Structure formats: structure tokens, C-alpha cells
A and B are shown apart, each in its own frame.
Chain A
Amino acid sequence: MSKPVKQIHLAAHFPGVNNSTVWSDPAAGSQIDFSSFVHLARTAERAKFDFLFLAEGLRLREQNGEIYDLDVVGRPDTFTVLTALAAVTDKLGLAGTINSTFNEPYEVARQFATLDHLSAGRAAWNVVTSWDEFTGQNFRRGGFLAQEDRYLRARQFLAATWELFDSWRGDEITADQDTGVFLTDPAPGRFDHHVDQFDISGHFNVPRSPQGRPVIFQAGDSEEGREFAASGADAIFTRHGTLEDGQAFYADVKRRLARYGRAPDELKILPGVTFVLGDTDADAREKADVIRHQQVSGPTAIKLLEQLWNRDLSAYDPDGPLPDVDPLVGENTVARGRASVRMHRDPTATAARWRALAEEKHLSIRELIIAVTGRQSFIGTPATVADALDHFVQSDASDGFILTPHLTPGGLDDFADTVVPLLQEKGVFRTEYEGDTLREHLGLGAARAVRDDRAGAADRKAAS
């Protein structure tokens, strides 16, 4: 018996601070002006995408003690942009990355519940963690969190916000003008949450929102991240380079769900990917090569290499070989405030791997960085790309994709006009939205009651 054909989920990532946006292209617009967000959101909605996604960063990155100036820098506030986008779209989900370290559950729950009300059920939260004092210098609380507590706080933060989201049952407000009864509960929204990271109680002041809770996303490929996602997320945002890696990750994470009493389709796996379209496959490959060289200039290659080496490498030629010296191990002092720094968990081993790769393929520094920093990219004619995307999903390497265009804000236009219709012809992507809420787009059930909440269960498990 053949497997049923899976439906693909698609999302658009508005690229924020990164070196993937080719800002020097004449077609590149503002990454701040609201009109850019409107353009990408309307394109995504025209193409019937599930949602638009925003990343976050709460401190400008620094390298060698200076603000990093080679990439797109500067981004607006996530909640404000997403809520404004709710005014210019009708169905598109609105997903924001919000840090669980330098925020408080009461405020974040209010903001997501408000976004969900004002978008009529389209809010999603990508829960991320942070602990570093560098970012903390922008906040009242400072760098107060020990690194080993970051996932503990994230889990407890999520559990606390769930309690807040569920503190209104949804039937309190009757607003009966004749009898004068506005609400049936004289003190709605009760909550009481006392754990290591939070000692909070009182009354939540936003009535239950259309989705009950926003859709929960989690990013991160670490062991803790996978377990956290399996315990409580609705979707996971990953980056896996190949079909095989994707399949392994997919199988691993879906397997973990059973521990929390969840079915495999309760968690969607969505890698962040790029694409390049051309009239022929060869043409697309050529364009992709040009784009990669625009993304990784010589100076950018040196800066990215410094982040692993943790040393000043400005004297090196980007078109020359890798440094003979080894990375400095220990506290990272060269680059601060970027996620990739923390991804280099074992710099010595990574450097050895990179050296071997460079020797084997005769790569310069720049070519090596181009090779090791690329994410999964679908390159070819619209037909080639549509086939590849479909193959990836039907092979259980993912449930769909979060697409990051390399041009802001028009980088999704061609994809919407050429690839999406081919996916629709294959019957693997919707031609109309079937529901109104993001939970419906993603095929997720209604939010469960919090009393048997999964994050709470995960905490108890972790504590035992």
C-alpha cells in the first residue's frame, strides 16, 4: 500500500540581520520600511503560504570589539510589525521569534494574545533562549541567567505563558446589555505560578484569544532543543543540509513525541531553506554561484572564519589557504551576539574538518566559507525546484519549508508565480486557504488544556 501524499507547508522568512540578503543588488529595498514587510506578506498570502516568519536579535552584534558592519543591520520590533501586518493580510499566519530570557511571561502572553485577537487567530511564537550577559546589558535584569538554566527558564516560561493563555476559559464575557452582566466571573484570569524562575500570581487581563494559544515554534538542533520541541512545540524550525540529514532529524524528533503522549503529526518539521530559480537548471546554478559570492565577500569570509577561530585573522588573504594556527578555545571574545558563535561547540574539531575539506577540494578561505555556511538550497527551473521540494517532503525529510529569499522585499515574487502553481498542479499544496487560523493551516488541532500541559510534564521529568 502506498503512503498517502503529504501536503507541503510553506512559510516566508523576512530576512533580518544576516549575510544572506544581497543588499547591494539594485532591486534590494529597505529592511525596515513597513512597505517592504507589506510586499513580502502580500506575496506570501497571494501564494497561500501558511505564515510569515520573523527572527530576532536583541543586541547589535560585535566582532573584535566593534559593531559588525558588513551585513544588513537593524530590524523593527517583532510584535509591532506582525500586528500591523494583520491589517494588510487576511489569512497569513504571523510568526515571531521572542526570547524567553529578557522578557516576562505576563507581558509576552498579553502581546501574543493581543496579536491573536487582532489577527483573528493567526499568531505564532518561535520560542528562543538566550543567556549571555552581552545581550543582557540592554535590559533591566542584565545578564542574570546561568547558561545551564537557559532551557529550564525557557520551559518554565512556556509553561507560565500557557497557564496565562488558559486562565480565561473563553466563556466569561457575556456582555448582556439588558441584564447588565458583562462577565460571569468576578475575577477572571486567575493564575499562580511558583517555580525556580518565576514567582508570579494574580489575574491575566486579556480574554481568551481565537486560537487559545499561539502556535508554538521552537528552533534549534541540540539535544535539549529537540526534547523541548517534542515536549511542547507545534512546529520546529531547523536547518539541515541534506536529504539524509533531514530524514534522520525528522525520524528522531517524531519518535520523541510518543514520550509526551503526542502523535507524529502534532509537530511539523520545517527547515529554513533558500532557493534560486532560472530558465534552465544550468542558468540557475550560475545565478546561485553569483549570489553566494555576493553573500560571502572576501571581508565577510574572513569575519566568518574569525568567529570559529576566535582570533584576529584580518592579515589573511580570503583567496588564500586556511590559517595554520589553531582556533583559540575558551571564552569567545572575538564575536558576540550571533547565534553561529554558539553553534561552534567544538572549534578545534570543526577547524580540523574544515581544513580537511579545504585540502581535499583545494578551497580558498572564501570558497570554504561558501561551502560550509550554505543552507539547504533548491536550485533550478521552477519545475526542478517544485520536484525537489516535493521529493524532500514525501521522503520524510520535512513537512514543509521556511523560505528565505536573498532579496528584500521582492525575492519571493518569482517563487509565488512559478513554483507554487506547479506544486498546486501536483496536488501537494493548497489552492485556497481551507481555514482561517494558523492552527488550521498547519493541520493542528485546537490548543489543549493547560492542566496536563506538556512543558510542565517535561519539567517534572527533568526534575525527577
Chain B
Amino acid sequence: MPSAPSPLHLAVALDAAGWHPAAWREPGARPRELFTARYWTDLVTEAERGLLDFVTIEDSLSLQSSSFAGPDGRTDQVRGRLDALLVAARVAPLTRHIGLIPTAVVTHTEPFHVSKAVATLDFVSTGRAGVQVKVSGRADEAPHFGRRPAIRFRPDELDSPAGLAALKELFDEAGDYVEVLRRLWDSWEDDAEIRDAATGRFIDRDKLHYIDFTGERFSVKGPSITPRPPQGQPVVTALAHREEPFRLVAASADVGFVTPQDTADTRAILARIRAAQATAGRADETVHVFGDLVVLLDDEPGAAADRRARLEERAGAPYTSDARVFAGTPAELADLLLEGQEAGLTGFRLRPAVLPHDLERITRGLVPELQRRGAFRTAYEAATLRGLLGLPRPANRYAAL
């Protein structure tokens, strides 16, 4: 008898009105509410109703644009967004089980601030926080900060020597950034707060640690101002399309998001990440690799394809994405996911093309379908995001054995 497959992990990526640029015009879309707490709470509670492992929340430090250099002048698409970490914080007290993974742009922010913010998200969600680290090569983001020169390459030059060098620099810095996040989370031992009335000491200072990080671009002394969060270290994730980000996922992340176009591509990407993982000395650690898919889901065969055609007509262009775009029924999507699992992916992050429609088809169509096949949980089985993902609570690197 074949052994039961390990359970599939499922997440959704939330962005504005959905990932299709014309999504906001669909019936059921709530384009006037994109900047309200209720909108985000409704989406995340819906995802939680579907027992999903986590939601990610997109972010950027510039206006959304199809141009790399600045606003593209379009008035027919959603522009403007809220700070993703704070959206997650706003939703946290109103949910109980689902993981919350906001995006943080690491190129222009301070690792000390982001470390304590993600740790605090872990406190306010009692152990459900993560972060998706994202580098910024956008030409229009650097002048928003005025601290570093604008990026020296264009997207179409990524494979040139200059492009590769710039990419390496950005991702090396991101690797340092994640190292600082993790060290700061460890900079307080779990039992550092002693409240010892006899000696008058609130903390045991021997259980607080300077992290003394020195890198190419920055140094950080530590310790954090925030005690070690409930998960010890919140979950670190990153989206990866090519070698440098694969290396970041392999060396620094707990979950990587990848965008294979078919099964052969899936196997090739996984081989590269697993090799890099071994090189980074993490062969024994769990690094989840999730496939990213843009999804249009409808129960009636053909309905999703029709909807896709309508959206493309509205947008005036065929929809393309870095990730594969799926339009079909929940059963067809279940087949595709299990095929990807067979190829080695441990989970999927679905990007709903239209919110809340495609999210609801995930939670009310796809999830029951996977449950019928015994491939997805029927109840939350752990209290923390690490628990849901089968990741151990990390030992503190500074604690004496």
C-alpha cells in the first residue's frame, strides 16, 4: 500500500484587488475599500476559514507601475498601497490560526526596525508571524530615500556582467539583512526576564547578547530592544526566479516561492535550490519550496477561461506574469498541485487573480476538493506558523548548552 502523501501546504498571496490589473472592475470587487481595515480583515478571515497555512501581503516602496523607472501614467489600474506589516498587525488580533507574512523591502529599510516589527507581529499574533524579504532594484525607489545611488542596471540587462554584479550585491546585502534579523531575534534568550525581587534585577544581563554584526554595507550592535518572540524566530520567506535569489532562499530562508512553468522546470529549480542549500551547510534543515501560481477558479468548466478573456479585454492586453497562470476548476487545480507535489514542491502559494472571488473559490472549492483526496488538513493542527509548517522552534544560537 502506498504511503499517504505528506500534507500539502497552501498559502495565498494578497495584493490589492487581486493580481490581474483589471481585477478591481470585476463584480464583487471592493476597489473603494482597498485602504480600509475591514477589507483586509475579510480577506484574511476567509483564508483562515479555508485552513490555509498563511497569507502573504505584498508591498513596495514606490507606486505600482509597469515601468521600472517611475509611474507609468496609467489611470486604469490600482495605485497606492498600505504598509504590509501594519496590515498584518491590524488583522492579527482578529484571527487565531493563520500565519501572517508581510513583505519587507530590505534594500532601503533598517534591519533593526524590521526585526523588532516582525518580532512584535509574532507577539501580537501569538506565534504566527513571518516576513517575505524583497530586494529593490527599482530606479524610482532609491530617490525616495536619498541614501544610496540609483540602481545601475535595467531589468533587460540582468544577465549582463554589470547586471549580475548588481544583482549579487543586492542579494548579498539581503543575506546579511536576514542574518541580522535572526541574530536580533536570538539576542535575548527565552528566559532572560527573571524578575528577581531578591536582587532587584528585572533581567539577567548574561542572557542578553550583542550581535556585533559587521557586513559590507552595514553593521548592527544589538541586542534587540524586543525580547525573543514566541516562535523564537519568525518564518523567513523570499520569492526567487534565478540563481542569486535561489542562493538567498537556500542559505537564509525557511520558505522559498518559485515560479516553475511545468514539471521539468519544477525539478530543475528544486535541484538548484537543494544544491545551494547543501553548499550553504543547511542540507539537514527544512527549507520549504512553494510553487507560485496565479489562479482564476470557477466551478463550472470553461467559466474561468471566459472570465480570463473578459479581464483581458478590459485590460486591453493578454495577462502575463512571472508565475504560471491557471484558469480552470478546483478539481483541475487539485490535479496540478498534486503533480507539483509529486515533483518535489512542499506547497503552493496561490495568487488570486481577482479578490475576493478567486480566494473564495480556493477556500470553498479547492480546499474541500483536496480534503476529499486526503491531501489537505481538515483542522488547524498547531498554534504557531512554524508548527503548521512542521518547522522546529530554533535553538538560540547564543544560549549556553
Q: A residues near B, CB below 8 A?
A: 17, 23-24, 32-34, 38, 57-60, 66-67, 69-77, 79-81, 83-84, 86-88, 102-104, 106-107, 110-111, 113-115, 117-120, 137-142, 168, 173, 175, 177, 180-189, 198-203, 205-207, 297, 299-300
Contact A24 B227 (CB under 8 A): no
Q: How far is the CA of A74 from the CA of B190 in the complex (A)?
A: 12
* Chain B residues whose CB sits within 8 angstroms of the CB of A87 once the complex forms: 37, 41, 90-94
Contact B93 A84 (CB under 8 A): yes
Q: How far is the CA of A59 from the CA of B90 in the complex (A)?
A: 26
Given contacts A75-B226, A106-B61, A137-B221, contact A80 B203 (CB under 8 A): no
* Chain A residues whose CB sits within 8 angstroms of the CB of B188 once the complex forms: 74
Given contacts A80-B121, A83-B89, contact A140 B223 (CB under 8 A): no
Contact B31 A202 (CB under 8 A): no
Contact B123 A139 (CB under 8 A): no
Residue of B nearest to A117 (CB): B35
User: How near does chain B come to A290, taking the closest CB pair, in angstroms?
Assistant: 14
* Chain B residues whose CB sits within 8 angstroms of the CB of A138 once the complex forms: 112, 220-222
Q: How far is the CA of A36 from the CA of B70 in the complex (A)?
A: 44
* Chain B residues whose CB sits within 8 angstroms of the CB of A23 once the complex forms: 195, 202
Q: How far is the CA of A432 from the CA of B80 in the complex (A)?
A: 35
* Chain A residues whose CB sits within 8 angstroms of the CB of B89 once the complex forms: 79-81, 83-84
Q: How far is the CA of A69 from the CA of B32 in the complex (A)?
A: 50
* Chain A residues whose CB sits within 8 angstroms of the CB of B76 once the complex forms: 180-182
The interface centre, meaning the residue of A33, A67, A69, A102 with most chain B CB atoms within 10 A of its CB, is A69
Confirm or deny: B372 has a beta carbon within 8 angstroms of a beta carbon on chain A. no
Which of B141-149, B265-273, B279-287, B327-335 interfaces with chain A?
B141-149
Contact A177 B123 (CB under 8 A): no
Q: How far is the CA of A117 from the CA of B80 in the complex (A)?
A: 12
Given contacts A67-B205, A77-B120, A83-B86, contact A205 B93 (CB under 8 A): no
Residue of A nearest to B212 (CB): A137
Q: How far is the CA of A206 from the CA of B75 in the complex (A)?
A: 16
Confirm or deny: B217 has a beta carbon within 8 angstroms of a beta carbon on chain A. yes
* Chain A residues whose CB sits within 8 angstroms of the CB of B141 once the complex forms: 202
* Chain A residues whose CB sits within 8 angstroms of the CB of B80 once the complex forms: 168, 173, 183, 188-189, 205-207
Given contacts A74-B227, A139-B220, contact A106 B200 (CB under 8 A): no
Q: Which of B61, B63, B110, B120 contacts A139 (CB 8 A)?
A: B110
Confirm or deny: B83 has a beta carbon within 8 angstroms of a beta carbon on chain A. yes
Give me 29 A-to-B residue pairs in the complex whose CB atoms sit less than 8 angstroms apart, sorted by A's number: A23-B202, A24-B197, A34-B93, A58-B225, A72-B202, A73-B202, A77-B120, A80-B120, A84-B89, A84-B124, A86-B90, A87-B41, A88-B93, A106-B61, A114-B83, A115-B86, A137-B219, A137-B221, A140-B218, A177-B25, A180-B25, A183-B75, A184-B75, A186-B75, A187-B70, A202-B70, A202-B144, A206-B35, A207-B80
* Chain B residues whose CB sits within 8 angstroms of the CB of A200 once the complex forms: 143-146
Contact B208 A79 (CB under 8 A): no
Contact B314 A180 (CB under 8 A): yes
Contact B32 A175 (CB under 8 A): yes
Contact B120 A76 (CB under 8 A): yes
Given contacts A23-B195, A57-B225, A115-B86, contact A80 B61 (CB under 8 A): no
* Chain B residues whose CB sits within 8 angstroms of the CB of A66 once the complex forms: 205
Q: How far is the CA of A59 from the CA of B25 in the complex (A)?
A: 48
Closest 10 CB pairs of A and B: A137-B221, A175-B31, A80-B120, A76-B120, A187-B71, A77-B120, A114-B83, A140-B218, A84-B124, A83-B89
Given contacts A23-B202, A198-B146, A207-B35, contact A34 B123 (CB under 8 A): yes
Contact B200 A299 (CB under 8 A): yes
Contact B208 A67 (CB under 8 A): yes
Confirm or deny: B78 has a beta carbon within 8 angstroms of a beta carbon on chain A. yes
Q: Which of B73, B81, B203 contacts A73 (CB 8 A)?
A: B203
Residue of A nearest to B140 (CB): A202
Q: How far is the CA of A224 from the CA of B32 in the complex (A)?
A: 43
Confirm or deny: B60 has a beta carbon within 8 angstroms of a beta carbon on chain A. yes
Q: How far is the CA of A202 from the CA of B62 in the complex (A)?
A: 8
Confirm or deny: B378 has a beta carbon within 8 angstroms of a beta carbon on chain A. no
Q: How far is the CA of A38 from the CA of B92 in the complex (A)?
A: 13
The interface centre, meaning the residue of A23, A60, A76, A83 with most chain B CB atoms within 10 A of its CB, is A83
Given contacts A177-B31, A200-B144, contact A77 B201 (CB under 8 A): no
* Chain B residues whose CB sits within 8 angstroms of the CB of A183 once the complex forms: 75, 79-80
Q: How far is the CA of A137 from the CA of B140 in the complex (A)?
A: 28
Confirm or deny: B24 has a beta carbon within 8 angstroms of a beta carbon on chain A. yes
Contact A104 B147 (CB under 8 A): yes
Q: Looking at chain B, what size class is its interface with the partner chain?
A: 35 or more
Contact B144 A77 (CB under 8 A): no
Q: How far is the CA of A137 from the CA of B225 in the complex (A)?
A: 13
Contact A199 B146 (CB under 8 A): yes
* Chain A residues whose CB sits within 8 angstroms of the CB of B124 once the complex forms: 34, 76, 80-81, 84
Given contacts A34-B126, A80-B124, contact A181 B223 (CB under 8 A): no
Residue of A nearest to B95 (CB): A87
Confirm or deny: B74 has a beta carbon within 8 angstroms of a beta carbon on chain A. yes
* Chain A residues whose CB sits within 8 angstroms of the CB of B218 once the complex forms: 139-140
Confirm or deny: B85 has a beta carbon within 8 angstroms of a beta carbon on chain A. yes
Contact A81 B120 (CB under 8 A): yes
Q: How far is the CA of A205 from the CA of B121 in the complex (A)?
A: 23
Q: How far is the CA of A106 from the CA of B144 in the complex (A)?
A: 6
Q: Which of B130-166 contact A (CB under 8 A)?
A: 140-141, 143-147
Q: How far is the CA of A17 from the CA of B227 in the complex (A)?
A: 12
The interface centre, meaning the residue of B71, B76, B124 with most chain A CB atoms within 10 A of its CB, is B124
Confirm or deny: B386 has a beta carbon within 8 angstroms of a beta carbon on chain A. no
Residue of B nearest to A76 (CB): B120
Contact A60 B208 (CB under 8 A): yes
Q: How far is the CA of A117 from the CA of B126 in the complex (A)?
A: 24
Q: How far is the CA of A240 from the CA of B147 in the complex (A)?
A: 39
Contact B86 A69 (CB under 8 A): no
Q: Which of B63, B82, B108, B221 contacts A114 (CB 8 A)?
A: B82
Residue of B nearest to A136 (CB): B221
Given contacts A117-B36, A138-B222, contact A206 B123 (CB under 8 A): no
Given contacts A106-B61, A118-B82, contact A76 B226 (CB under 8 A): yes
* Chain B residues whose CB sits within 8 angstroms of the CB of A79 once the complex forms: 83, 85-86, 89, 117
Contact A33 B31 (CB under 8 A): no
Confirm or deny: B371 has a beta carbon within 8 angstroms of a beta carbon on chain A. no
Residue of B nearest to A74 (CB): B227
Contact A69 B203 (CB under 8 A): yes
* Chain A residues whose CB sits within 8 angstroms of the CB of B32 once the complex forms: 173, 175
* Chain A residues whose CB sits within 8 angstroms of the CB of B74 once the complex forms: 186
Identify 5 new A-B residue pairs, CB closer than 8 A, beyond the known A77-B113, A206-B82.
A70-B202, A80-B117, A106-B144, A137-B219, A200-B145
User: How near does chain A come to B383, taking the closest CB pair, in angstroms?
Assistant: 15
Confirm or deny: B363 has a beta carbon within 8 angstroms of a beta carbon on chain A. no
Contact B62 A203 (CB under 8 A): yes
Given contacts A69-B202, A107-B109, A186-B75, contact A205 B119 (CB under 8 A): no
* Chain A residues whose CB sits within 8 angstroms of the CB of B87 once the complex forms: 114, 118
Contact B73 A187 (CB under 8 A): yes
Q: How far is the CA of A69 from the CA of B121 in the complex (A)?
A: 25
Q: How far is the CA of A439 from the CA of B101 in the complex (A)?
A: 32
Q: Which of B49-106 contact A (CB under 8 A)?
A: 60-64, 70-71, 73-83, 85-87, 89-94
Confirm or deny: B193 has a beta carbon within 8 angstroms of a beta carbon on chain A. yes
Given contacts A80-B117, A111-B86, A120-B37, contact A186 B143 (CB under 8 A): no
Q: How far is the CA of A21 from the CA of B90 in the complex (A)?
A: 28
Given contacts A137-B221, A182-B75, A200-B145, contact A83 B90 (CB under 8 A): yes
* Chain B residues whose CB sits within 8 angstroms of the CB of A188 once the complex forms: 63, 79-80
Residue of B nearest to A72 (CB): B202
